[in-house]
Structure 1
Amino acid sequence: MIDDPMKVFAGSGSRQLTARICAYLGLPMGKNETLHFSDGNTFVRILENVRGRRVYLVQSTIFPANDNFMELLFWIDAFRRSGVDSVTVVIPYFSYAKGDKKDEPRVSIRARVCADAIEVAGADRIVMMDLHAPQIQGFFHRPVDNLYALPLLCNRIKKLNLENIVVVSPDAGFAKQARRYASCLQAPMAIADKERSGHDEKASILQLIGDVRGKTAVIVDDFTISGGTLAAVAQELVAHGAVAVYAAVTHGVLTPGSIERIDASPIQRLFITDTVENQPVTFSQKIEVVSVASLFAEAMRRIHYRESISEMFRY
């Protein structure tokens, strides 16, 4: 029934974000538990009656990626076997989004495999944020909503009252979204021409397209893992005359060694969101987390009451 209050549950990969979503919605968090056995098996259990309800499950699939993805599938199956009316899966960070194409011989299109598994498990709708490749939405036969952290990150940057800003895309692939940041911040844009020759998460900056001399550069991207690209682009910007460098990234995956690279770089402040919350590193003072709980909560509320989600992103 549409008049039924929402039931929001957390997977073990997103319990803090789910708590913030529920606080925004004024709802108690659903009761459930995840157990991890010594042999590597995962066990999930719903601790309240959900029969006939429209439920929402929040679970990022990272740290550890495979375990959290399998847990996601088990939760979908558990809800289905409990007689729910529908399951909306909220995946703040979809870790296999980078595997969106067959770009070399004899490799798997991992995002497509994951999409098939999520649908077969029984998901009715999927909500994600800043997909690395938006065409991944086409891998699903169910509705997929791709939310953007841009409004919240831009609002935080605006509060810094920075002067003479230039928005910088770390590669040509993110240029389209970087233009949206530039429009929101009413600033020009530059692009770093990046080359990645292997799977070692290392990239080389070949050239910088655009004028950054005497300006405050704001690097924008959808995710960072090693911090290597951000650090390399920041160095290149300073070499080309930028007076200050900031960065705003939706998914701060941040693996061991990344904090040291960022701290050693010219970046003065790195803004990330709470789509990833269980990184194996300790943040330094350069890193600030901007919560996207309000965006997810509003999207979930609009889905529940059959309202438009696109209205949220008129900027």
Structure 2
Amino acid sequence: RASAARITAVIPYFGYARQDRKAEGREPITAKLVTDMLTTAGADRIVAVDLHSNQIQGFFDGPFDHLTAMPVLVEHLRGHLGSEVVVVAPDAGRIKAAERFSRVLGTDMASVYKRRGKGEISQVEALGVMGEVTGRCCVLVDDMIDTAATIVAAAERLKASGAAEVWAAATHAVFSGPAVDRLKNSVIDRIVVTDTLPLPADGQIDKVEVLPIAQIIADAIDAVFEDTSVSEIFGGENQS
């Protein structure tokens, strides 16, 4: 209404990103609905951080800049971890992300394979570990910690497999339902997240550390309005 030439919606945490497909019959694809609402509201471009599914970018007809918090997380991990580190994917869906982290950090990689139960509160059983973790510091990497079922189950399996220490690194601290209690009582030694979402009051526990990503978003906005490459900010790692 104020005659803006163009409108860019900056959405650090893109809500409903996990509803990007029909897992069962009659389920809505809510991520598509969100992009449709943004289009109707007048958004010409979207900027988001670490989408749960890359294909969400295809739901929007205009430019969609997908940022990653990996540089912030990697810098922090480098400054606080020793040499005996292995990056771990908590499930099969995060293997590509774990590969990126391990490549940038120069570490080995492992993965946990799991079985998810059905129910109102998600239950996850970690069945085993692929990779060498005995006596090493394991860093579980994920895009978000929601109910914490997956990350906690993976951490327990890693400790049972001989890991000396377990860290968790994730972009989005959703912390819904039983997440905080699960994390408090878990074997995870340190949890590193970013401020794409405000941390709930009960989530401000000693083992949780929040990193700012304002500079990444500021650099992306500058690139958007200067019509330069957003991907160059991340060395192309945001396209993986």
Same fold (TM over 0.5): yes
Equivalent residue of 1:97, what SS? coil
CA shift digits 1:213-268 (9 cap, x unpaired)? 11110000000112222211111101001011111010001135322221221211
Aligned residues: 235
Which position in structure 1 is the counterpart of 2:175?
254
Q: Is 1:309 matched up with 2:236?
A: no
1:230-249 correspondence runs (5 A): 230-249=151-170
TM-score by length of 2: 0.94
What displacement does 1:278 show? 5.2
Q: Is 1:113 matched up with 2:33?
A: yes
Distance 2:68 2:182 in 1: 26
CA shift digits 1:54-97 (9 cap, x unpaired)? xxxxxxxxxxxxxxxxxxxxxxxxxxx12111110011111210
Distance 1:148 1:191 in 2: 21
Which position in structure 2 is the counterpart of 1:102?
22
Which position in structure 2 is the counterpart of 1:270?
191
Which position in structure 2 is the counterpart of 1:147?
67
Which position in structure 1 is the counterpart of 2:87?
167
User: Which residue identity is paired with 2:206?
Assistant: Q
CA shift digits 1:28-58 (9 cap, x unpaired)? xxxxxxxxxxxxxxxxxxxxxxxxxxxxxxx
Distance 2:209 2:85 in 1: 19
Which position in structure 1 is the counterpart of 2:139?
218
What displacement does 1:161 show? 3.4
CA shift digits 1:113-171 (9 cap, x unpaired)? 11111112110100001000001101110110110111110100000132210101111
Distance 1:248 1:138 in 2: 27
Equivalent residue of 1:260, what SS? helix
On the 8 A contact 1:100/1:112 being kept in 2, the answer is: yes
TM-score by length of 1: 0.72
Distance 1:106 1:282 in 2: 34
What 5-or-longer segments of structure 2 have no aligned partner?
none
Which position in structure 2 is the counterpart of 1:298?
219
User: Which residue identity is paired with 1:264?
Assistant: N
Distance 1:135 1:255 in 2: 24
On the 8 A contact 1:255/1:281 being kept in 2, the answer is: no
User: Which residue identity is paired with 1:242?
Assistant: A
1:43-82 correspondence runs (5 A): 81-82=1-2
Q: Is 1:127 matched up with 2:47?
A: yes
Which position in structure 2 is the counterpart of 1:284?
205
Rg (Cα) greater in structure: 1
Which position in structure 1 is the counterpart of 2:56?
136
Equivalent residue of 1:285, what SS? coil
RMSD: 1.4
Which position in structure 2 is the counterpart of 1:178?
98
Equivalent residue of 1:106, what SS? coil
On the 8 A contact 2:127/2:157 being kept in 1, the answer is: no
Distance 2:172 2:28 in 1: 23
On the 8 A contact 1:101/1:109 being kept in 2, the answer is: yes
Please, which moves more after superposition, 158-167 or 236-245?
158-167
What displacement does 1:202 show? 2.3
Distance 2:199 2:208 in 1: 15
On the 8 A contact 1:255/1:279 being kept in 2, the answer is: no
User: Which residue identity is paired with 2:100?
Assistant: R
Distance 1:102 1:294 in 2: 35
Which position in structure 2 is the counterpart of 1:25?
none
Distance 1:270 1:115 in 2: 31
What displacement does 1:100 show? 0.4
CA shift digits 1:264-301 (9 cap, x unpaired)? 21211100000001535241110000111100000001
